[in-house]
Amino acid sequence: MHTQDLTISTTFEGQKKYFASGKTLALAVRKAQLKKLKEILQANEDRLYKAIYSDFRKSIFDTYTTEISILYHEIDEAISKLSTWAKTQKVSTNWVNFPAKSYVIKEPLGVALIIGAWNYPYQLLLSPAIAAIAAGCTAILKPSELSSATSALMAELINEHFDPGFLYVHEGGVSETTELLTLSWNKIFFTGSVRVGRIVYEAAAKNLVPVTLELGGKSPAVITEECDLSMTVKRLVWAKYLNAGQTCIAPDYVMVHKNIADDFITAMQREISKECFSIENGNYVQIINNHNLSRLSSLIDYEQVAIGGTIDEHARVIEPTVLYPASFQSKAMKEEIFGPILPVIVYDQLETVIRQINTGEKPLAAYIFTSDSIKRDLFLNQVSFGGGCVNDAIMHISNSALPFGGVGSSGIGAYHGKAGFDCFSHTKSILQKSTLIELNLKYYPHTPSKLNWVRRILKLS
């Protein structure tokens, strides 16, 4: 069966029926489906590598470390922890309800729509799908049309091996997504830009569909005088130029203290040349398409180029580029960069940095490189952002115990590990009363003595 063999309304209605049949409820069934997904990925690993290389020349090493291994981990963790995550949890009961017991039941939300972005095409589509399966949902997946080879491969693999009532991939772009968004889903999980996030949120509101929005924004990296400079630069260079900067949580720009700014740039120069970023070396990728290539090239102010700046239009490659000294007025500071261009802004006072970051939208990630715990705490307590690291960048995403998501315009909700299970689950609260006794205080007639008792009991509750 091919991906476009079924219409959107057919698969949607099919999934509603499948979910209503209760087939996804047994934990053993969910675990078996997750195991099956892992086996499909393992059996087709070579094809997964080839497809992503064809989309934007990503190497096997980077694809394994930043996509496939994460999916295997998410599946293994879900299988091993599902019984605990899904367990009905007892909670305390207040005196007013005595005698009774109270508990919360995790129930699957139902039929989910998962829309992915192109930059980590496997992880961004299948990781939420793993969470949906673990939670007992059915799901329709819509990969990004920009990474067409990975989109086609995921459609082929999923649609050949799974019942479309349970899991199905609909390929397509704006018109297909627009059609999908008109339906009454039980959950929409979207990864992509803030602009499209608004469209998704608006469409979801019409049917009161709960959403998780994994969006973007400008993620700062702040470097204080007290940092370990060589370690900072090593980790920062890796994080910025991984996937040629096309990473939602890549450091978008750097703010460096004035006393170490020149040394920082010299160390950046050394580290970038040591890393030898290139597609041939397997540690660099193409810019996804010509549209993004020209958008990125327009963000480079050549008077500010301190490192790199060369663009190979034919190969769709932009050299690792550093703009220094940049300012908040620089062109590259006007939008999320999402490419291998790093503006470096010099600062004097950390308080000013915090104020400047807080005047913009809340970032998806933020990083502080420092050994000064007072500055670290000041930053962590006064800047609101989705998640981040102290003395590193990007790596917080590799710990599935840390819920991953944005805040404000960088997103709504979070996933990975248990947070993923929770995001596709409803927490149903139950008060289970005993029929042995009834205090009768709430019933007519409402006497002064009853009111006294009510006051006493409510104080105890």
156-185 positions binding ligand NAD, by CB under 6 A: 173-174, 177-178
292-331 positions binding ligand NAD, by CB under 6 A: none
Which three-class secondary structure state does DSSP give residue 73? helix
At 103, which helix (H) or strand (E)?
strand 100-108
Q: Which of 248, 271, 336, 423 is catalytic?
A: 248
191 near ligand NAD, rule: CB under 6 A: yes
- Contact string 242-281 vs ligand NAD (x = CB under 6 A): ------x---------------------------------
Query: Is 248 one of the catalytic residues?
Result: yes
User: In the set 71, 113, 114, 124, which binds ligand NAD (CB under 6 A)?
Assistant: 124
Write down the least CB distance from residue 99 to ligand NAD, Å. 47
Q: Distances in Å between the alpha carbon of 57 and those of 43, 53, 280?
A: 21, 4, 9
Which residues, in sequence order, are CB contacts of 367 under 8 Å at separation 6+? 219, 220, 221, 222, 236, 239, 251, 388, 389, 390, 392, 393
Which three-class secondary structure state does DSSP give residue 289? coil
192 near ligand NAD, rule: CB under 6 A: yes
CB nearer ligand NAD, residue 248 or residue 419: 248
Write down the least CB distance from residue 82 to ligand NAD, Å. 23
Residue 382 and residue 113: Cα distance in Å, rounded?
35
Contact 191, 113 (CB under 8 A): no
Name beta bridge partners: 425.
108
User: In the set 128, 216, 220, 309, which binds ligand NAD (CB under 6 A)?
Assistant: 216
- Beta-strand ranges (E) seen in 314-424 are 317-318, 321-326, 341-347, 365-369, 387-390, 411-412
355-384 positions binding ligand NAD, by CB under 6 A: 364
Q: Residue of minimal CB distance from ligand NAD?
A: 216
Which residues, in sequence order, are CB contacts of 384 under 8 Å at separation 6+? 358, 362, 407, 408
Write down the least CB distance from residue 141 to ligand NAD, Å. 10
User: In the set 108, 116, 340, 388, which binds ligand NAD (CB under 6 A)?
Assistant: 116
Residue 329 and residue 340: Cα distance in Å, rounded?
19
Contact 190, 382 (CB under 8 A): no
Which three-class secondary structure state does DSSP give residue 105? strand
CB nearer ligand NAD, residue 174 or residue 430: 174
Name beta bridge partners: 230.
none
Could you tell me which stretch among 60-68, 72-80, 83-91, 138-146 binds ligand NAD (CB under 6 A)? 138-146
Note the residues at the interface with ligand NAD (CB under 6 A): 115-119, 124, 142, 144-146, 173-174, 177-178, 191-193, 196, 199, 214-216, 248, 336, 338, 364, 406, 411
Hey, which residues are catalytic here? Answer: 214, 248
